[in-house]
A and B are shown apart, each in its own frame.
Chain A
Amino acid sequence: MCEWCMKHGAGKKWYLNAKNYSDELARELEAEAYLTEQWRNFEQVFIRKIAGFSSIGLGYKLRMPLIGRVLRWNAEKMIHSESRNRDPIRADGHFGQVIPLEDARIILSELAAEPIIENYCMCRWMQRNVKDVCCINFGVLSGVIEKLPRFVPEGMQHLDREKAMNRLTEHNEKGYVATVWFQPVPYINAICSCESPECGGLRLRKDFGLHSVYKAEYVILLDPDKCQGCKSCVTMCQFGAIRYIPSLKRVIVDYNACFGCGLCRHACIHDALKLIPREDFPGLRGMY
């Protein structure tokens, strides 16, 4: 169990605790005002100077002796902040975790607070100038996004739970990684369908090692007897965790690279891939 399950999971995974989705919690955290500020200014978060440094050239800055270590420490502190005076324009307290489709469906069917909407992805917009309707938001955040025309697709309506699950399944099967987000921790109000390198959270994690996104509670397990070496799964992996080995005539999994999203399963017609709890491999325990 990760730190956030211990703190906010009530004995379960953090994103399966109904309290973290409640309107009462949103009110207690004054989430509507917070999210309005955060979302109005979201595209500026990497441009703004925070504690004297912007994210421009972040890779170089993190490599600086001493200063780099202080920067990293400060960035992690901000990303995971539960302080009362956290700052929405820096998106303090905003981080998430990769989840497989099954867990995302549980969230959308039982836990997500209404209203549920689907809007344009903010990351693809700012990184690629692409408008892709694939972010499912809920609770207080829905009303906030409805006030920001650049994220609102034409004719956007509130989704019922069935429709939201169907949409998420479509994205997942297409190759988008499902992620669930605290913003701000411990309030949960979004399931994204992410792509790398466009996703800001995956960017910070994969390219700079910051824990803006945690790996899933699962890893993929390959049945070598069932794998026929067709390589279809390789094309689905956003993390470069599956590789075809010609001499073995099958794929192998790089467990350090696997985020446990389970997308590769959609491509496998031989039933050779399944997700197992990360904890089942002692060497991967706690490696979120």
Chain B
Amino acid sequence: MNATRIAIDYSKCGEVGKIDPRKCGKCLKICDPAVFLMHQPLHTQQDPFDPQVWRITAVWLSLCTRCMKCVNACPEKAITVSW
């Protein structure tokens, strides 16, 4: 079986001025196997003790069943699941 890829369009979610995943988080909650993970971007300069910029990455891809619940739950249509 091909590997699953889940892309998140960061021009819609997770960057300054866009959807703040800490306020939305719908994909994190809808996914039964908890494939998504919220984190500070790796190379963004911000307060190391109190970061305000967060984004979501699909990390545990091998556990994705391609149910598409995240795609439908995302209010910005920022998630693409492909294989």
Contact = CB atoms under 8 A, between A and B. Distances in A.
B75 interface: no
Interface in B24-76: 24-25, 28-29, 33-34, 36-40, 42, 48-51, 57-63
Given A47-B57, A129-B38, A197-B34, A59 B63 contact: yes
B59 A55 contact: yes
Which of B36, B37, B48 has the most C-beta atoms of chain A within 10 angstroms of its own C-beta? B37
Interface of B: 3, 21-22, 24-25, 28-29, 33-34, 36-40, 42, 48-51, 57-63
B61 A57 contact: yes
A46 interface: yes
Interface of A: 40-41, 43-44, 46-48, 55-60, 63, 125-130, 147-150, 197-198, 203, 207
A43 B39 contact: yes
Given A59-B60, A148-B50, A126 B38 contact: yes
28 contacts: A40-B48, A41-B40, A43-B37, A43-B38, A43-B39, A44-B39, A46-B37, A46-B59, A47-B37, A47-B39, A47-B42, A56-B58, A57-B61, A58-B59, A125-B38, A126-B37, A127-B34, A127-B36, A127-B37, A128-B25, A128-B29, A128-B34, A129-B38, A148-B49, A149-B49, A150-B51, A207-B60, A207-B63
A150 B21 contact: no
Nearest to A198: B34
A48 B21 CA distance: 19
Nearest to A129: B25
Nearest to A57: B61
B3 A44 contact: no
Contact of B40 (A43, A130, A149, A198): A43
